[in-house]
Amino acid sequence: MLNRLLSVAPMLDWTDRHCRYFLRLLSRRTLLYTEMVTTGAALRGDRDWLLGYDPAEHPLALQLGGSDPADLAQCARIAVEFGYDEVNLNVGCPSDRVQSGRFGACLMAEPDRVADCVAAMCAAVAVPVTVKTRIGIDERDSYAELVDFIGRVAAGGCAVFIIHARKAWLQGLSPRENREIPPLRYDVAHQLKRDFPDLTIVLNGGLTGLDQVVEQLAWVDGVMIGRAAYENPYLLAEVDARLFGDATPLLSRRQVIEAFLPYVERQLCQGTPLHSMTRHILGLFQGVPGARAWRRTLSELACRRGAGVEVIETALARVAG
């Protein structure tokens, strides 16, 4: 059983393997998600590149994008072969590119198809199969329609729903605008939990601090945070103690970087550019004297040819935390 009190959202171009390894240094218990991987990429692409990860990243969920039950079932099997702890189906992304592939938020208009996808995945694997969804799309945003969607997909075998508590406009708004303009409706997620007490309901959207997380846990089974964890990752440092009762001593920001350096060195030896890793740690010293110098040093020097761990050490010497 995965503990879902707190998780970090799948974020395209952000939650790659380097980001996840770094975040794991801050919290041992938080459930991490990959970037979305399409079924086409997983079936025909470089699987080691797309799906590989460091064992330290567990507990770890793979998010898939797709709408064909057979393809999703096969990808779920592949996920288990790679050792993922959960397989998640994306029914929340509103981008035009995702819609053109007939997956993401547009699938909310096809609850029976989503139920078939979930059923095929559940039949293929023993790990949890979960769904991340919005509370509605376009004019199809009534609570009755959401209840119908959740009920049908749950009948397909899904017991865990991650609810991004905004509707999505499939036309007229960019993905970024869809994260900001539709109003947050936490009350809808709360009502879902009351109406589906046997389901695990995880709330996502707009949460920026642990006080908010604790407040929402009175209403739902778990909370998923996204940009807040990426832009101010040190907020995860208190999670294990505050939410999970873990007595492991809290690492300082400096200790987190020192623990990250061996990983960076290993990746550099494998040909990974330094900036592919340092871009994820820019926000670690947010609010600390020297944070601007930290960010500037990493941004200016990590992209240079042959840049190594000395760049991080130089940046660390310029910050007070």
| Residues assigned a catalytic role | 93
Cβ count within 10 A of residue 265: 11
Residue 169: C-alpha distances to residues 95, 144, 172 (Å): 10, 18, 7
Q: Nearest 5 degrees, angle CA 117-CA 193-CA 225?
A: 75
DSSP of 227-271 = HHHHHSGGGGGGHHHHHH---PPPPPHHHHHHHHHHHHHHHHHTT
Matching residue, tokens 């460091």 = 54
Dist CA 171 CA 153 (whole Å): 25
Taking the CA atoms of 98, 99, 105 and 108 in sequence, report the sign of the dihedral they define.
Answer: negative
